[in-house]
């Protein structure tokens, strides 16, 4: 962690200082909404077109910040404990401090610039090099005049390599960034049309970007001899040295041109850092996609909304369209698109490329908003519906909700168009309690489990019970995209919904019911046959329908004592399977009763022994081949010997380590949040909520929160048994939980106000903690969240 005295910083940035008491600074603060360590933060009162940071000095002082960099006179008498550093230019002071901090370190620093691919190359270099170096890198896409100083400020004595992005929008900017980053290795991804409006030509843009490299080494040059694209991967061949007679090669799990270009760039850097070629080749195979944030929301009239109303350029459009493909298999696709403002390509050529992209992604309807896109397409006759509006306001004026039905809608626009209003028109209205689902975290958690699995071990992802409350179709789409092998649901209806959403993976139905046989077959679902009765009923149904060799799964009872054929019935079962041509046995499995508990490890091993005996008996007696699986999320971690042919991952995918092993870096998937509806100042002795259960023992500020037991919040958490987070601080629940709301004590959070977010569970307050307070398990909390709570999905 960076650490300087305020008096040191004053000298570095050449400030006129009014220091009341010297203080240690760890954090640079630019956003008044993001305070987490006020005593050790230094606030830079930066002016922008919409905000003047000096307006927030009073608020920040009241919240504990005592150190400020300013360029306007402030009445210091109002802030008796504050240190003020007066400079000519606050942004310049921030950059000056970051440049000074950078000079304190003598480590390799990779500076990355280019029109596209900076973040991908940065994140891939991290993936490729993090085992060799302790790396500091730009968070997200922190590559601006403000973002770069904040990135460099992260450097400390433990880091052995730094990777920073540098983005510019006009001449004169790169020289300032070069002084901050001071790269030792410079990387130029490419020169394209994105962010070109501030330059007269691509040549001017190239010259400006190359200023980043005026004092550093460029990566090694590779002589690429061949690029061989396959179905799911690409092999790239090159000569590392001009005189090489043997070609070197890498294989990457991508086939698109942008990924190939980015991988070659990374290869150059690794060669420059003297990473050995066999290591490079092995690591390149493991590259993972870097996804940008896209929000997925439920829309009106059974629509799904993808919100990417942050940028508009060809590269990000293609990323968004790929995500649209992932989430809209078999569903009509609509794109709402603004003008592309950051391009120097002539409009006829630019919008021709846009149109080509839309057609390649099978877009049914285009709504173009902006004068340029309207002019480009107004005379064209296309094989898609097209609505054109010169302004967003005209679209809003003519908006009819009935025009959108059962389609997936991508909203993609430059920030200046403020498409947030369109998002609000199209999204399904719900009350202010939402369950936010981080789709990136699902993919991350899957990869965490895959790290501990053998390469040949398959994965069945459990998406039963509405994907543990998170939304089956959306979660299944991510899992399908990330190449799991099977999905598991509890009932046929859940599988049918997945098929309707375009999920084509094999789906096992674990609670097979006779009245669902017709739908199981119609939607190509695979039933679990767990008894002779259900097996024979399904066999008769198949015979009547003239169907043979239908895929099924056989469940064996080894100790859970819920469903499954008993060990004593194995000979009879083998004879039955030999006598019928109705089935193809896809897998044989059993359920572990207590794999997460050390005290029950002997029993878990006993179940495994019984299951192996059952597998051997069935294979020996029938001669059939099939997959075997026993391990759940906890067993995958605690009992690696139980992996067999496939593991079934459930609660672990959602970020919960039911075994509390601490072996995996699981990320929180679901965050349940609401808002404060009202705050009241009550006196000691007054009561709160039904039956006067909450009697106040002091004068208190009581806030009403918009969530209750009808939303799935347990009544057991009332009367002080539970707590929530407001402003990242705990607020205990007062009185009983009502149907639609409950009350909390915010007396000790004086800055809490009406409308503030309230975290029910998520980062900072785990669902495991909430479940423990309620005397239950995480499964019950997650699956109990009511369907009236809006689900909001996002990806990075």
- Tokens, residue 96: 């000056």
Sheet architecture: strand order including 109-113: 135-137, 161-165, 109-113, 185-188
Q: Per-residue b/e over 157-195, b at no fewer than 16 CB within 10 Å?
A: eebebbbbbbbbbeeebbebbbebbbbbbbbbbbbbbbb
Helix ranges, 34-117 (H): 57-62, 90-102
**Sign of the four-CA dihedral 318, 323, 325, 330:** negative
CA dist 269 to 110, 215, 224, 262, 426, Å?
A: 9, 17, 15, 11, 45
Helix ranges, 552-666 (H): 570-578, 601-622, 633-638
Helix or strand or coil: residue 140? coil
Helix or strand or coil: residue 483? coil
Distance (Å, whole) CA 512 – CA 133: 52
Are 121 and 171 in contact by the 8 Å Cβ rule? The answer is: no
Q: Per-residue b/e over 364-380, b at no fewer than 16 CB within 10 Å?
A: bbbbbbbebbbbbbeee
User: Taking Cα atoms as reference points, which of 660, 561, 645, 661 lies closest to residue 607?
Assistant: 561
Distance (Å, whole) CA 518 – CA 521: 5
Helix or strand or coil: residue 123? helix
Catalytic annotation on 690?
A: yes
Give the list of residues 6+ apart from residue 563 with CB closer than 8 angstroms, or none: 511, 528, 530, 531, 555, 557, 591
DSSP E strand stretches across 421-493? 434-438, 458-462, 486-489
- The count of other CB atoms within 10 Å of the CB of residue 50 is 5
Distance (Å, whole) CA 7 – CA 28: 15
Catalytic residue among 228, 380, 684, 690: 690
Distance (Å, whole) CA 279 – CA 248: 12
- Tokens, residue 380: 């064209």
β partners of residue 688: 694
User: How would you class 687 by CB atoms within 10 Å of its CB: exposed for 0-12, middle for 13-18, buried for 19 or more?
Assistant: middle
Q: Which helix (H) or strand (E) holds 442?
A: helix 439-452
β partners of residue 248: 238
307-311-317-321 Cα dihedral, nearest 10 degrees:
-10
Give the list of residues 6+ apart from residue 702 with CB closer than 8 angstroms, or none: 679, 680, 681, 682, 688, 696, 734, 743, 744, 745, 746
Distance (Å, whole) CA 335 – CA 366: 5
Distance (Å, whole) CA 5 – CA 418: 42
Catalytic annotation on 61?
A: no
Catalytic residue among 297, 464, 486, 530: 464
Counting every residue written for the chain, the total comes to: 796
**Active centre residues (catalytic):** 464, 690
């Amino acid at each position: 962690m960076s650490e300087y005295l305020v008096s040191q910083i004053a000298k570095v940035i050449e400030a006129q200082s009014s220091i009341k008491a010297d203080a240690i600074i760890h954090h640079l603060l630019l956003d008044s909404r993001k305070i987490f360590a006020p005593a050790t933060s230094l606030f830079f009162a930066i002016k922008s077109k919409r905000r003047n940071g000096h307006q927030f000095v009073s608020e920040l002082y009241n919240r504990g910040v005592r150190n400020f960099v300013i360029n306007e006179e402030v009445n210091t008498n109002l802030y008796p404990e504050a240190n003020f550093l007066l400079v000519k230019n606050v942004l310049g002071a921030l950059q000056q401090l970051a440049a000074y901090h950078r000079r304190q370190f003598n480590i390799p620093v990779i500076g990355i610039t280019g029109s596209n691919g900076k973040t991908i190359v940065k994140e891939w270099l991290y993936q490729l090099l993090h085992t060799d170096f302790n790396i500091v890198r730009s968070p997200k896409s922190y590559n601006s005049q403000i973002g770069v100083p904040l990135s460099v400020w992260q450097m400390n004595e433990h880091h052995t390599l730094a990777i920073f992005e540098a983005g510019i929008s006009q001449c004169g900017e790169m020289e300032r960034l070069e002084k901050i980053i001071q790269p030792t290795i410079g990387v130029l991804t490419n020169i394209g049309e994105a962010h070109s409006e501030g330059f007269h030509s691509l040549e001017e843009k190239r010259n400006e970007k190359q200023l980043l490299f005026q004092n550093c080494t460029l990566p090694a040059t590779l002589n690429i001899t061949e690029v061989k694209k396959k179905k799911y991967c690409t092999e790239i061949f090159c000569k590392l040295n001009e005189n090489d007679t043997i070609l070197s090669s890498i294989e990457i799990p991508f086939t698109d041109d942008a990924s190939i270009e980015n991988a070659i760039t990374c290869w150059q850097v690794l060669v420059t850092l003297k990473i050995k070629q066999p290591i490079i080749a092995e690591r390149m195979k493991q590259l993972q996609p870097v996804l940008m944030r896209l929000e997925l929301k439920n829309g009106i009239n059974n629509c799904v909304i993808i919100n990417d109303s942050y940028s508009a350029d060809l590269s990000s459009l293609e990323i968004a369209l790929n995500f649209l493909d992932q989430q809209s298999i078999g569903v009509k696709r609509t794109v709402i698109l603004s003008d592309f403002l950051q391009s120097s390509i002539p409009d006829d050529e630019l919008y021709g490329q846009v149109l080509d992209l839309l057609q390649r992604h099978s877009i049914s309807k285009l709504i173009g908003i902006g004068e340029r896109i309207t002019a480009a397409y107004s005379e064209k006759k296309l094989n898609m519906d097209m609505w054109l509006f010169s302004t967003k306001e005209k679209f809003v004026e003519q908006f009819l909700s009935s025009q959108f039905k059962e389609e997936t809608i991508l909203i993609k626009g430059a920030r200046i168009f403020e498409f947030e209003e369109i998002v609000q028109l199209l999204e399904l209205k719900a009350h202010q309690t939402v369950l936010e689902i981080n789709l990136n975290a699902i993919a991350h958690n899957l990869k965490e489990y895959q790290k501990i699995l053998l390469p040949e071990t398959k994965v069945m992802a459990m998406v039963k019970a509405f994907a543990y409350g998170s939304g089956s179709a959306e979660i299944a789409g991510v899992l399908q995209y990330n190449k799991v092998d099977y999905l598991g649901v509890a009932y046929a209806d859940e599988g049918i919904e997945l098929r309707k959403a375009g999920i084509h993976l094999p789906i096992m139905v674990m609670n097979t019911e006779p009245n669902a046989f017709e739908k199981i077959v119609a939607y190509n679902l695979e039933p679990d046959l767990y008894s002779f009765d259900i097996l024979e009923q399904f066999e008769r149904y198949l015979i009547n329908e003239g169907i043979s060799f239908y895929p099924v799964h056989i469940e064996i009872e080894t100790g859970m004592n819920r469903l499954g054929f008993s060990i004593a019935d194995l000979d009879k079962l083998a004879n039955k399977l030999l006598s019928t041509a109705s089935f193809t046995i896809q897998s044989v499995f059993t359920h572990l009763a207590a794999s997460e508990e050390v005290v029950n490890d002997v029993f878990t091993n006993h179940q495994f022994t019984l299951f192996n005996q059952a597998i051997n008996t069935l294979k020996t007696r029938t001669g059939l081949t099939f997959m075997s699986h026993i391990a759940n999320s906890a067993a995958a971690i605690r009992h690696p010997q139980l992996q067999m042919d496939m593991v079934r991952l459930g609660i672990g995918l959602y970020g919960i380590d039911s075994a509390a092993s601490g072996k995996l870096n699981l990320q929180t998937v679901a965050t349940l949040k609401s808002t404060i509806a009202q705050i009241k100042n009550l006196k000691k002795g007054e009561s709160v909520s039904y039956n006067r259960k909450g009697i106040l023992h002091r004068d208190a500020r009581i806030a009403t929160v918009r969530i209750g037991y009808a939303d799935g919040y347990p009544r057991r958490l009332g009367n002080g048994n539970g707590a929530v987070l407001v402003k990242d601080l705990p607020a205990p629940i007062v009185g009983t939980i009502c149907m639609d709301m409950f009350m909390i004590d915010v007396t000790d959070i004086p800055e809490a106000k009406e409308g503030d977010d309230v975290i029910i569970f998520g980062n900072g307050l785990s669902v495991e903690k909430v479940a423990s307070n309620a005397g239950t398990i995480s499964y019950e909390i997650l699956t109990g969240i009511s369907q009236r709570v809006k689900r909001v999905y996002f990806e990075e």
